[in-house]
Amino acid sequence: RSEIESASTQPSEAAKKVKIGIYFATWWALNVVFNIYNKKVLNAYPYPWLTSTLSLACGSLMMLISWATRIAEAPKTDLEFWKSLFPVAVAHTIGHVAATVSMSKVAVSFTHIIKSGEPAFSVLVSRFILGETFPVPVYLSLVPIIGGCALAAVTELNFNMIGFMGAMISNLAFVFRNIFSKRGMKGKSVSGMNYYACLSILSLAILTPFAIAVEGPQMWAAGWQTALSQIGPQFIWWVAAQSVFYHLYNQVSYMSLDEISPLTFSIGNTMKRISVIVSSIIIFHTPVQPINALGAAIAILGTFLYSQAKQ
Ligand code: 3PG
């Protein structure tokens, strides 16, 4: 009987693995493309509050069109749903804009090296704010994560305080986003794709007034002319690409969150950062010193040890 059972469960297990593998590969590829176009845009047009807003606006529009044309089924939501989504959206907005501000000031690789320290923030927030304790190996794994990030930061050739702090704030905000997200999704029947769509719409509403206050239409218009004259019409395509790919990679990541545990998700996220770090160093010819690369490698190794210890 067990043979029959295993024969009938094996193909679906294998199919699930293939499906998750496809999700992961798509997620990382979309993320690499987003990071490249986002940085190309920020180099020519240093208005991270606007580019963050455009990413959310583009995603919101894509999903509203998908719902209106029934390409995707619109979720059934109530006031309770939007109320529980609100803290998630505040954290998502802060994490997103802080990471984009960071990338406008430093190399993409540097932002992502610091962002690979997110598990350390997760443990510290859980310990000191939620009072959750972990086995000793989990705490020990924080040593290479924090030490590696610190080594990479102090040896970074283009160190910039705003760039560093932006990535740190993004880490903290995304830890809260993940905690609130888990609480908010509990018992709700909204799919990962629609959950992320609603998150984009609410985040867009939160971010827009702040983006206008911090940067504003006058700066945007003047900078736009300069960027267009320097880069040419393809600048508009870069902006479109960074906006579309931002939505797509996040949508795929939330879709995969439906299928996998948060732990597998965080391992996937760290592996994603390796592909972003390596590809952005190659594409933007980022100068890297051996000691700097060593710091990044130690931090990433620490994240793997963390995931092992948490298991
Ligand atoms: C953003 O702009 O929101 C960040 O690049 C997101 O970072 P992450 O999705 O890689 O954590």
pLDDT digits (tens, 9 = 90+) for 17-65: 888 889 999 999 999 999 999 999 999 999 999 999 999 999 999 999 9
ipTM of the complex: 0.93
285 in a structural domain? yes
What separation in Å is there between the alpha carbon of 8 and the centre of ligand 1? Answer: 40
Radius of gyration of the chain (CA): 20
Question: Tell me, what DSSP letter sits at residue 72?
Answer: S
Residue 1's pLDDT is: 41
Look at residue 3 and tell me if it is in a domain. Answer: no
Tokens of 251: 């949508």
Q: Is the pLDDT of residue 8 over 80?
A: no
What are the structure tokens assigned to 303, written together?
A: 């994240």
Question: How confident is the model at residue 259, as a pLDDT?
Answer: 78
Residue range 242-297, pLDDT digits in tens: 999 999 999 998 888 777 777 777 778 888 999 999 999 999 999 999 999 999 99
Q: How far apart are CA 17 and CA 8, in angstroms?
A: 15
Average pLDDT in the 224-237 region?
96
Residue with tokens 């939505």: 247
**Is 2 within a domain?**
no
Integer Cα distance of 59 and 248 in angstroms: 8
Atom of ligand 1 nearest to the CA of 111: 5
Q: What is the whole-number distance in angstroms between the Cα of residue 2 and the centre of ligand 1?
A: 45
Check if the beta carbon of residue 85 is closer than 8 Å to that of residue 200: no
Give the global pTM: 0.91
Residue 152: count of CB within 10 angstroms of its CB: 28
H-type alpha helices, the chain = 2-44, 48-68, 79-105, 108-115, 118-128, 136-154, 161-185, 192-214, 217-231, 234-257, 262-283, 290-310
**Residue 152 structure tokens:** 């990479």
Name which of 74-78, 89-93, 176-180, 285-289 the model is least confident about: 176-180
What is the per-residue pLDDT across 203-227, written as a single tens digit (0 to 9) for each?
999 999 999 999 999 999 999 999 9
Q: Which long-range contacts (CB under 8 A, 24 or more apart) does 265-269 make?
A: 266/118, 266/119, 266/122, 266/303, 266/307, 267/303, 267/304, 267/307, 268/24, 268/27, 269/118
Which of 34, 97, 170 has most ligand 1 atoms within 8 Å of CB, for mutation? 170
Residue 51 Cβ inside 6 Å of ligand 1? The answer reads no
Structural domains in the chain (count): 1
Q: Say how far apart CA 270 and CA 256 lie, in whole Å.
A: 15
- Whether residue 185 is contained in a domain is answered as yes
Q: Ligand 1 test: best mutation among 51, 92, 96, 110, most atoms within 8 Å of CB?
A: 96
* Summary mean pLDDT of the chain: 91
Rounded distance from Cα 218 to ligand 1 centre (Å): 27
Can you read off the two tokens belonging to residue 219? 């700066």
pLDDT number for residue 10: 59
Q: Is residue 138 part of a domain?
A: yes
Domain that holds residue 270: 18-310
For residue 284, which of 162, 157, 154 has the smallest C-alpha distance?
157
Q: Is the CB of 96 under 6 A from ligand 1?
A: yes
Q: How far apart are CA 40 and CA 232, in angstroms?
A: 13
